[in-house]
Amino acid sequence: MRRSLRIALFAVLVSVATAPYASAQDLNFALFERYLDALRVQANIPAVSAAIVSNQRVMWDTGLGYADIEHAIHARPDTPYHIAGLTESLSSALLLEGCYENAHVTLDDRIQQRSMQAPDSTITIRDALSHRSSGGSFKYDPSRYAALTDVTETCIQKDLMPFRQVLNERLFERLGMFNSVPAQNVDDQSADDRVQFTASQLDRFSSVLKRMAVPYKVSGSSASVNTDVSKAVNAATGAISTVDDLARFIISLDSGDFLHRETMGTMWSAQAGMPTGLGWFVQNYNGQTIYWQFGSTPGAYSSLIVKIPSRDLTLILLANSDGLSEPFSLQNGDVNASVFAKAFLRLFIG
């Protein structure tokens, strides 16, 4: 598949190289959109929504393909998707802002002090945030990261607010992310009977969930609806959002409105011997430090965020199949394996 993707990219480059655009930046955005759609078609991804953030605003966004094939509903920048592992970056920000900055925890506190669900007695908050295994090396393990769910609930110190409620009130509503929902089963009282959402909140959630991109399991050139997708949420996965709402989150970080600059420096610093910071991957590309995170719900959804801090650029991608993530083994910690990330990095860094 990768050879055919390279051929498709070359064809796109030739087709737009001499096209007239208002500026070099406009050319780059238009060229990237064509790259992206060529890659989407080659990977047989039904829909991709995308946004690029720069200078604390959305510079470009789009929807490509179909969020719902059967009903011919096109993807849009405000199409909601299950964001899978991108939830880690949201929960990291929540924990750092609500717990770490308020001195309710330190990063080297053992999770066992805060949670009965700690995977082992020695794992610390820092270990979980950076995917450090019990043996001390990197191992991408969302189940260990999920242990931070209870930590976030207990340390924010507001009536032991359930994680879904924390995510909604302290992030989505605070940042105006009104096309985001903390979990697909948000109105299921059997999932967490402590949650007390208002009628207006539940109405908003219902409206958003009705517009969600349909999840597809792709095999070769065929795509079938996947009806067996988990609807629960924890610190590692499960939130629902759009590229434009996630852009609001990125803007809040870039502006310093959500986290202190020192905290962000810690969050985006590679931990010793690890390809990760805290809730993010940290990597070098052609001499430039980049921050990134991915999500994958096999046979259903995938997602990717890539930040180039030196260029003040952030790419956000959401898809309704696993094609953005699963073919590239991103859990190994190398974003260079992704043809989607490489198209963005090559175009904007070189």
In a domain, 6, yes or no: no
In a domain, 28, yes or no: no
Q: Is the pLDDT of residue 188 over 80?
A: no
| Residue 196: pLDDT band with limits 50, 70, 90 | confident
Residue-wise pLDDT for 25-70, tens only, equals: 677 899 999 999 999 999 999 999 999 999 999 999 999 999 999 9
Q: Is the pLDDT of residue 9 over 60?
A: no
In a domain, 277, yes or no: yes
Nearest partner of 215 among 144, 297, 139, judged by Cα: 297
Rounded distance between C-alpha atoms, residue 103 and residue 256, angstroms: 19
In a domain, 207, yes or no: yes
Q: Is the pLDDT of residue 181 over 70?
A: yes
- Lowest model confidence (mean pLDDT) among 27-41, 188-202, 229-243: 188-202
| CATH code for the domain in which residue 105 is found | 3.40.710.10
Specify the number of domains making up the chain: 1
The mean predicted confidence, pLDDT, of the chain is: 91
For residue 155, the model assigns a pLDDT of 86
In a domain, 29, yes or no: no
In a domain, 17, yes or no: no
In a domain, 142, yes or no: yes
Residue-wise pLDDT for 304-327, tens only, equals: 999 999 999 999 999 999 999 999
In this prediction the pTM is 0.92
pLDDT > 70 in the chain, percent: 90
Rounded distance between C-alpha atoms, residue 252 and residue 212, angstroms: 24
For residue 46, the model assigns a pLDDT of 98
In a domain, 13, yes or no: no
What count of Cα atoms within 13 Å lies in the side-chain half-sphere of residue 15? 13
Rounded distance between C-alpha atoms, residue 71 and residue 113, angstroms: 50
Q: Which 3 state secondary structure label does DSSP give 303?
A: strand
Backbone angles phi, psi at 88, to 5 degrees: -60, -40
Domain of 274, in residue numbers: 43-348
